[in-house]
Structure 1
Amino acid sequence: MRKKIVAGNWKMNLTLAQGEQLINDVLAAGLHLQEGQEVVFATPFPYLVKAKALIKNNPGFFLASQNSASEKSGAYTGEVSAEMLQSVGVDYVILGHSERREYFQESNAVLAKKIDLALANGLKPLFCCGEPLEVRKAETQNEYVAKQLEESLYHLTAEQLKNVVIAYEPIWAIGTGLTASAAQAQDMHAFIRAQIAAKYGREAALNISILYGGSAKPSNAVELFSCPDVDGGLIGGASLVAADFVAIIKALA
Structure 2
Amino acid sequence: MRKKIAAANWKMNLTLAQGEQLINDVLQAGIKLPEGHEVVFAVPFPYLMRAKALVKNYPGFYVAAQNCYSEKSGAFTGEVSAEMLQSIGVDFVVLGHSERREYFQESNAMLAKKIDLALANGLKPIFCCGEPLEIRKAETQNEYVARQLEESLYHLTAEQMQQVVIAYEPIWAIGTGLTASAAQAQDMHAYIRAQIANKYGKEIALGLTILYGGSAKPSNAGELCACPDVDGGLIGGASLVAADFTAIIGKLA
TM-score by shorter chain over 0.5: yes
In the TM superposition, residue 89 of structure 1 has moved relative to its aligned partner by 0.8
- Pairs aligned (count): 253
SS in 1 for 2:190: helix
Q: Distance in 2 between matches of 1:178 and 1:44?
A: 25
Aligned mates of 1:57, 1:178 — CA distance in 2: 36
Hey, what does 2:199 align to over in structure 1? 199
What TM-score, normalized by structure 1, do the two folds share? 1.00
Deviation at 1:68, TM superposition (A): 0.2
Runs of 4+ off more than 6 Å: none
Question: What secondary structure, in the 3-state scheme, does the structure 2 residue paired with 1:106 have?
Answer: coil
Which residue of the partner structure matches residue 233 of structure 2? 233
**Superposed displacement of residue 174, structure 1:** 0.6
What amino acid maps onto 1:249 in structure 2?
Answer: I
TM-score for the superposition, normalised by structure 2 = 1.00
How far off is 1:88 after superposition? 0.7
How is 1:20-35 mapped onto 2 (pairs within 5 angstroms)? 20-35=20-35
* Equivalent in the alignment of 2:222: 222
Partner of 2:60: 60
Any idea what the Cα deviations from partners look like across 1:44-100, whole Å, max 9, x if unmatched?
A: 000000000000000000000000000000100000000000111100000000000
Name the residue aligned to 2:89: 89
Over the aligned positions, Cα root-mean-square deviation in angstroms equals 0.4
Q: Do structure 1's residue 128 and structure 2's residue 115 form an aligned pair?
A: no
Residue type of the alignment partner of 2:16: L
The CA deviation at 1:177 is: 1.7
Q: After superposition, where does 1:205-216 map in structure 2 within 5 Å?
A: 205-216=205-216
Map Cα deviations across residues 26-45 of structure 1 (whole Å, 9 max, x no partner). 00000000000000000000
Cα deviation, residue 178, structure 1: 1.0
Give unpaired runs (5+ residues) of structure 2: none
Q: Percent identity?
A: 84
Question: Deviation of residue 202 (structure 1)?
Answer: 0.2
Partners of 1:82 and 1:175 lie apart in 2 by: 28
**1:160-199 to 2 correspondence within 5 Å?**
160-199=160-199
For structure 1, the 5+ residue unaligned runs are none
1:117 has 2:121 as partner: no
Give, as a single letter, the amino acid of the residue that structure 1 aligns with 2:17: A
For 1:102-113, list aligned pairs within 5 A: 102-113=102-113
